[in-house]
Amino acid sequence: MKASALILIVGSALVLQVAAQLDPVCDSCPSKNCTYDKRLSCSCTGLNRTIEIVDPGDREYFNVSLGFVVDNTGSMRTEIASVKSSIQAVVTATSGIFDKYVIGTYNDPYVANVFESTDASAINSFVSTINANAGGDCPEMAMHGIRDVADRLSPGSVIFLFTDASSKDLALEPDVKALLESKNIRLNVMATGNLCGMGAEFSRLTTATNGTIYRTPDKSDVDFVMNYIKNFAKYGIRFIRGMPTTLEDLKAIADGNCSCKTSIENLVCIEPPTKSCPCPEGFEHIVVKKKVCVPGPCKKHKYGSLGFVIDNTGSMAAEIFAVRAHIANIMANNTVFKDYVVATFGDPYKKNVIRSSDESVIQSFVNSISPSAGGDCPEFAMSGIEDAAKKARKNSVLVLFTDAAAKDASKLAAVKALLLAKNTKLFVIATGTFCGSGVYKGEFDDLAAASGGDVMTLTAKSSVSEVLDFLALAAAGKYSLRSFPRCLDDMRKMKPERCCKWVIHHKCKPIEPPCPLGYKRVTMRNKVCGSPNGCPRKRVGSLGFIIDDTGSMGAEIFAVRTHISAIMANNTVFKDYVVSRYGDPYVKNVIRSSDASAIQSFVNAIGPSGGGDCPEYAMSAIEDAAKEALENSVLILFTDAAAKDANMSADVAALLVSKKIKLYVIGTGQFCGPRVYKGEYDYLAAASGGSVMKLTAKTSVGEVLNFIGLAASGMTSFDSLPSTLEGLHGMPYQDNCWIEEISTCMCDCYDRP
């Protein structure tokens, strides 16, 4: 039985919403509601390693579309038949999996030609009418084609673009990027030619949307990509969004000659609504879920040793000098390894290995390595790996740098057993041809695969520096070492790890009346962007700005003047605003108003002047602002100086507590130094439930005011204001988009055959 559908007109947009089906994975949860990640692991014939595809976690998209954009200019004449047959095969094989198919073509000049349908046979009939002709010059109107297909796709969908040319209509690229990102659509490009020697726009768009450019000059390569979709859509639509990024992996699994299994990870049950946010009579709770991500892995993996196994024969000078230049940076950034191992090997082999956590000892050892001897190509790599593995701790990572095959490949089985016993991964950086196919018998590929590592092949020795920069980021925990890129292109496409979690909110919605006869009630999920409505919000208190307007505060005053209008425009939390300014000598100057224009005029009149000695009359200004403000207010003090009237601290603290006012202090200086500042701001902030944030540069005030705007809009809490700018940068990213569940009556005729 297919999912029911309801077509809604929202403004001028046509929105297709599909009723969400219950997820059986969540059956073990009391609320039958959960979040989780899914991993697909495939062991494939002819491939000596396991391919793992991680579900991107976009669980808000239960139903997505599949889109195709086809360049049908004359230069595509030789491959158009293959493209058409591939599309038709995919559509036929996946009928009923996607909510609809959208296909469009583009030529030069551009004429919109887009067709959408849920009917596979209708789509295939349209595809059969596509012919390649016209064009002439190489860049074509790709952006127009992508835009018009993306415009009709459901959120969370995937587009496959088939072209041999770059884009002539680059002026549309920003709009196309914004459209793809707003609908979370992934763009994959099948480059069947050299893209006119250009095509950087496709790299930018695929990077922005987490898609991939597949270089497919051979017609059969297109078939591999399409075969993957045919064979793996059955494991879940999300694995089409997270499909492998290399043709090598696609070729290995696209023919279906693989044993695959899925596993559920990080399952978190979503608790049913609590009574902490009661809904009024006639309303009921619904869940609003938001995905929040921060840089870095959720759980930082702790390894044993980080090892460098270095071929120091005569041909390895560039690699040795690169390691020597970069190893200090790698060690300085390391947060995941306990110590370091360095081993060298030459011909004849002489054991030369060290393990230490002392960075200066490791650097001295590496500095002593120099290229020499060798001559014949195979070298004693297995002996070098073996001694490094024996010296390393368990759960280590070894990185081998060599351009030659292993002369002692007979030790392969013993070294493999040692790596497995110590749970140590081997990654190989190949800077040559391994003495050619007549000498190299795959020993490094075998060893890497068995240990969970990989072999990265470089075409130029000068690229070793890029690999070492990547290792520094991996040692810092920003990239995972569960896998390793196999070439520079893959490495450059890699994205830093992020830890994402679902934040659960509860919203009140009117209780729906019973459905009429012949209708049934369905629950749908819809992604909406904007400030979410929680329990009916009642505005409370005042939002107050207390501004030191002495001569050193010009940057802070200008920043408040620039940002305050946006803060007030987005405010959904506070009833009105208070602004207080103070200098030396102190003259009371405070305003409270709900009129945004009156507040803006008052702030515009503030200018820096006077002062001279460092302590200023901050306590008097805080007191007058607190007296003026409503109860349950938030006051924010901007100053670089201590309080000359700090003797008032106890009385001001009592006033803040009595009116339930929180004080947050943005310190843009040293508060006149430790001899003058006695902690009066920390005392007031702690007493009132606020905090003190210290900035090292006055130019950073704008970033703090952006945070204040988010807090005033209800998108974050003042309680989460960190004590440093670095903490502010590390706060969870919120894209202001939410998943809402809505209920409606639907004619049950849609379910009938």
**CATH number for position 211:** 3.40.50.410
Host domain of residue 90: 65-253
620/486 same-domain check: no
Q: In this structure, are 226 and 330 located in the same domain?
A: no
Question: Under 8 Å CB-to-CB from 148, ≥6 apart: which residues?
Answer: 104, 112, 114
Provide the pLDDT for residue 601: 94
pLDDT at 673: 87
Contacts of 654 (CB under 8 A, 6+ apart): none
State the burial class of residue 1 (Cβ atoms within 10 Å of its Cβ: 0-12, 13-18, 19+). exposed
In a domain, 52, yes or no: no
Report helix, strand or coil for 368: coil
- Residue 35 belongs to some domain of the structure: no
Q: Are residues 96 and 194 in the same domain?
A: yes
Tell me, yes or no, whether 124 and 231 share the same domain: yes
Are 193 and 311 part of one and the same domain?
A: no
Q: 């695929």: which residue's tokens? A: 206
Classify residue 354: in a domain, yes or no: yes
3-state SS assignment for residue 427:
strand
The last residue of a domain, from among 495, 518, 551: 495
Q: Are 472 and 564 in a shared domain?
A: no
Statement to judge: residues 241 and 351 lie in one domain: no
Within a domain: 243: yes
Residue 510: inside a domain: no
Cis peptide before 280 (omega within 30 of 0): no
CA-CA distance, 417 to 682, in Å (whole number)? 59
Instruction: For residues 243 and 361, state if they share a domain.
Output: no
H helices within 500-617, ranges in order?
554-570, 596-604
Cβ 541 vs Cβ 634: under 8 Å? yes
Burial 382-391 (b: 16+ CB within 10 A, else e): bbbbbbbbeb
Diameter over CA atoms, the chain:
90
Q: How many other C-beta atoms are found inside a 10 Å radius of the C-beta of residue 331?
A: 20
Instruction: Say how many domains are in the chain.
Output: 3
Q: Are 362 and 324 in contact (CB under 8 A)?
A: no
The predicted pLDDT at position 480 comes to 78
How far apart are the C-alpha atoms of 252 and 42, rounded to whole Å?
Answer: 10
- What is the rounded (10 degree) CA torsion for 68, 74, 78, 80? 20
Angular region, 666: left φ>0, alpha ψ -120 to 50, beta rest: beta
Six-digit token string for 721: 């204001």
- 666 plus 611 within the same structural domain: yes
Confirm whether 520 is domain-assigned: no
Instruction: Using alpha carbons, list the distances in angstroms from residue 656 to 96, 630, 635.
Output: 62, 11, 10
Shortest CA distance to 491 belongs to which of 510, 472, 517? Answer: 472
User: 659 with 644: CB under 8 angstroms?
Assistant: no
Instruction: Identify the bridge partners of residue 295 per DSSP, sorted by sequence position.
Output: 498
Question: Which amino acid, 719?
Answer: D
Of 495, 521, 548, the position where a domain reaches its end is 495
8-state DSSP, 432: S
Q: pTM score > 0.75 for this model?
A: no
Going by C-alpha positions, the residue among 579, 558, 584 that lies closest to residue 568 is: 579
Q: Strand pairing partners for 191? A: 163, 215
d(CA 231, CA 253): 9
Q: Among 461, 495, 529, where does a domain finish?
A: 495
Q: What DSSP designation does 220 have?
A: H
Whether residue 586 is found in the same domain as residue 469: no
From residue 151, how far is each of 65, 104, 159, 178, 209 by CA, in Å?
Answer: 12, 11, 11, 11, 15
User: From the first residue on, what is the mean pLDDT of each consecutive set of 10 residues in the chain (753 residues)?
Assistant: 28 27 66 68 62 50 77 85 86 79 90 88 90 77 92 86 87 88 86 78 86 74 72 59 66 64 70 60 71 67 89 91 92 91 92 94 94 82 95 94 93 93 92 86 88 88 90 86 77 76 69 77 56 55 95 86 90 93 92 94 89 85 96 94 92 93 93 88 89 85 88 81 75 52 59 40
Strand order in the sheet with 498-510: 498-510, 283-295, 737-747, 519-529
Angle at 367 between CA 365 and CA 369, to 5 degrees: 80
How far is it, in rounded angstroms, from Cα 223 to Cα 89?
10
Question: Is residue 567 situated within a structural domain?
Answer: yes
Q: Is residue 403 part of a domain?
A: yes
H/E segment holding residue 325: helix 317-333
Give the pair of three-digit tokens for residue 114.
């887009």
**What pLDDT, on the 0 to 100 scale, is given for residue 103?**
95
Q: For the chain, give the number of residues.
A: 753
224 and 339 assigned to the same domain: no
Q: Give residue for tokens 């060893």.
A: 447
| pLDDT for the residue numbered 485 | 79
User: 387 and 477: one domain?
Assistant: yes
